[in-house]
Amino acid sequence: MTGVSQRAYARMRGVALSAVQKAIKTKRITLNADGTLDPEKANQEWERNTFAGKTLHQATRQQAAPPSAQPSPRSVAGMASQPEVSNDPVAAYLRARAVSETFKAKTAQLEYEERAGKLIQATKAGEYAANWSAIVGDALSAYPDRVAPLVAAAKSEAEIHRILAGETNALRRKMAKAISDAGY
């Protein structure tokens, strides 16, 4: 096919003339020796060298596969397959940049939630759990020694129930006070 002007190619492609000029300037598409564009060649170069609006996975797959190849099918679980490894340094840089930016965003989110009081350090959570366990363990181990003589002296089932309910509520209050005193 003969070459067409930049303006005609922009109309054929459905883009602005400035987009075609920018693609030529950044060497994403090349001109013929006479200054015209071969539309078929320019379309192939445009697709191969333009990453705007595409995910890294699409760009990597498109570079690794021939233009007529279909996208790889999804796995049984519905997850996309791993992107093919590419020797393209731009794709490698974009993947590394995406990983870096994701890490920064997740770190910032965690720092925000910690400062907002929604999260605590894992070591501090372990200390809280150990202290809580000690408080509950001490209270429960003392319970039978306190309650057994009272139950033995009771004369009716209703009296035993009243004693057990009262001692259980006292135990709850004692644990709540111990936790409050510990600063939790």
Could you identify the residue written with the tokens 């057994």? 148
Which backbone phi and psi does 4 adopt, to 5 degrees?
-125, 160
Q: Which of 89, 56, 84, 91 has its CA nearest to residue 69?
A: 84
**Residue 90 in contact with residue 98, Cβ under 8 Å?**
no
Using DSSP's 3-state secondary structure scheme, residue 37 falls into: strand
Could you identify the residue written with the tokens 């089932």? 157
Which backbone phi and psi does 124 adopt, to 5 degrees?
-65, -40
Span 146-168, pLDDT tens digits: 889 988 998 899 999 999 999 88
pLDDT at 56: 46
pLDDT at 8: 92
Helix axes 122-153, 157-182, angle to 10 degrees: 150
pLDDT at 135 over 60: yes
- Tokens coding 73: 């099918």
Amino acid, res. 42: A
pLDDT at 100 over 90: yes
pLDDT at 52: 61
CA distance 30 to 43: 10
pLDDT at 7: 93
pLDDT at 10: 92
Span 11-51, pLDDT tens digits: 999 999 999 999 999 889 999 989 899 999 999 998 888 77
- Tokens coding 151: 């139950």
Whether this model's pTM surpasses 0.85: no
Span 113-125, pLDDT tens digits: 888 878 888 888 8
Span 68-91, pLDDT tens digits: 545 444 444 444 444 555 577 888
- Tokens coding 153: 């002296």
> Ramachandran region of residue 168, left (φ > 0), alpha (ψ -120 to 50) or beta?
alpha
| CA 131 to chain CA mean position, Å | 33
pLDDT at 63: 54
